[in-house]
Structure 1
Amino acid sequence: MKNHFITIAAAVLISTAPYAFAASSTDLTVNGTITPLACSPTLSNSGLVNYGKISRQDLSVNKRTRLRDQTLDLNIQCNAPARFALMMHDNRDGSAVVNSEIYYGLNHDGSGNKVGLYSLNFDPATTVVDDLPQVFRTDSTTGGIAWSSSNSRSIPIGARSYLGFTDVAGSNAGPIAIQSLTSRVILETVISPSSELDLSTDVQLDGSATLDVVYL
């Protein structure tokens, strides 16, 4: 019984001195929305781009070599009109020879040298959205809080920026709701100078990235 009374007395003493101690707790709030909307992105050829064998003689010794551009067909189908944006996650993060959110790595050679980089470029001119006559792109570097003025210029898909689509030129309102989108995207690939690679054995181009649909 004595221990019981000591505990209560201590609690009373603390509560009567509100300015003597800092708060010992803080609040956590978790928000979010589960949406019935679902959008499925697909790339032609299962997203595989194969450059085959590249001779070291085709590479510049002291400069980076740009390989021929490749194209893929992007298709996004939603079960209902949805506001969304695109981002891309580099599964070979840190291996691109240029540190930028629009460049993705091709991994390393046997000696740990960076093999090169690539980007995936979206062109509104090759894009069809639902039954709209024209499509414009808009992007956000603030997680969808603010959007750039929409336009028809080509843009690489970034790892930290949202890429969205609208039917209004010069708009800062962000993406519109879309149910079906098809586009031809262009893959640009650059290889490091041969003098910076270990070519004593075969070097694999080993790029891997994940294209994400972000619901807004």
Structure 2
Amino acid sequence: MKPVLTALAAVVLIAQAPCTLAASAVDLTVTGRITPLACTPSLSNNGLVDYGKISRQYLSVDKRTQLRDQTLDLNLQCDAPARFALLMRDNRDGSAIVNSEIYYGLNRDSSGNKIGLYSLNFDPANTVVDGWPQVYRTDSTTGGVAWSSSNSRSIPIGARSYLGFTDVAGSSAGPIGIRSLTSRVTVETVIAPTSELDLSADVQLDGAATLDVVYL
């Protein structure tokens, strides 16, 4: 009797197989929107911050050393009022000495040690937008789905958090349309302790990032 039972079991499994295969499918939908708006950002000095030669005697052996702050002028012009946000991409990803979306790397020395980090800080008080009497910043950590209550505090531009602008304090409605924005941004740079660096030869600070305009 055992061979008969085995054959019957096989028949049942084969009968069920087509039902399982029929459910193994999923739909793909591709959406998006092409906008005629265009905004062009630019930074003074072609976006270059050069600290020149830094003697090791000015750097701490066992602590991180913050270099003097540097400023750049950010200018953003749109051909019509546009809702947008700013985002930074680290072109030296993974080389910052602190793992955070607001810190960007300075690459590595000849022995592979992380050299340091920098941040790009935006201050609404140093910003002029169209004819607004005052500029407020608003942020989104959800890709523009929800926005923080707008305020006038300074903030580093992040790699995952949108930074937008409005002329209304305390608003969570997100950015409003802008045609022209000018701002003075501050670059803050920190060098790792020299005990963690290979100083047998010159160490080249080699930070590079891309400031993106995200249309909303």
Common fold, TM-score beyond 0.5?
Answer: yes
Question: Cα RMSD (Å) of the superposition?
Answer: 1.3
> Is 1:101 the counterpart of 2:101 in the alignment?
yes
State yes or no: 1:72 paired with 2:106.
no
Q: How many residues are paired up?
A: 201
Q: Please show how residues 116-155 of structure 1 align to structure 2 within 5 Å.
A: 116-155=116-155
- The answer to whether the aligner puts 1:24 opposite 2:49 as a matched pair is no
- Deviation sequence 1:62-83 (CA, Å, 0-9, x none): 0000000000000000010000
> Are residues 1:205 and 2:198 paired?
no
Percent identical: 82
Give the superposition deviation at 1:18: 7.5
Give the AA of the match of 2:80: A
Once the two structures are TM-superposed, the CA of residue 19 in structure 1 deviates from its matched residue by 4.3
Tell me the equivalent position of 1:86. 86
Q: How much does 1:24 deviate?
A: 3.4
Describe how 1:160-171 pairs up with structure 2 within 5 A: 160-171=160-171
Q: Which amino acid aligns with 2:97?
A: V
Between the aligned partners of 1:41 and 1:214, the Cα distance in structure 2 is 11
Distance 1:66 1:18 in 2: 66
- When normalised by structure 1's length, the TM-score is 0.91
User: What TM-score, normalized by structure 2, do the two folds share?
Assistant: 0.91
Q: Report what 1:194 is aligned to.
A: 194
Distance (Å, rounded) in 2 between the aligned partners of 1:78 and 1:123: 20
Partner secondary structure for residue 186 of structure 1: strand
Determine helix, strand or coil for the equivalent of 1:148.
coil
Unmatched tracts of structure 1, length 5 or more: 1-16
Question: How much does 1:94 deviate?
Answer: 0.1
1:172 is the counterpart of 2:167: no
Is 1:38 matched up with 2:38? yes
Mapped to 2, the partners of 1:136 and 1:110 lie a distance apart of 43
- SS of the residue corresponding to residue 83 of structure 2 reads strand
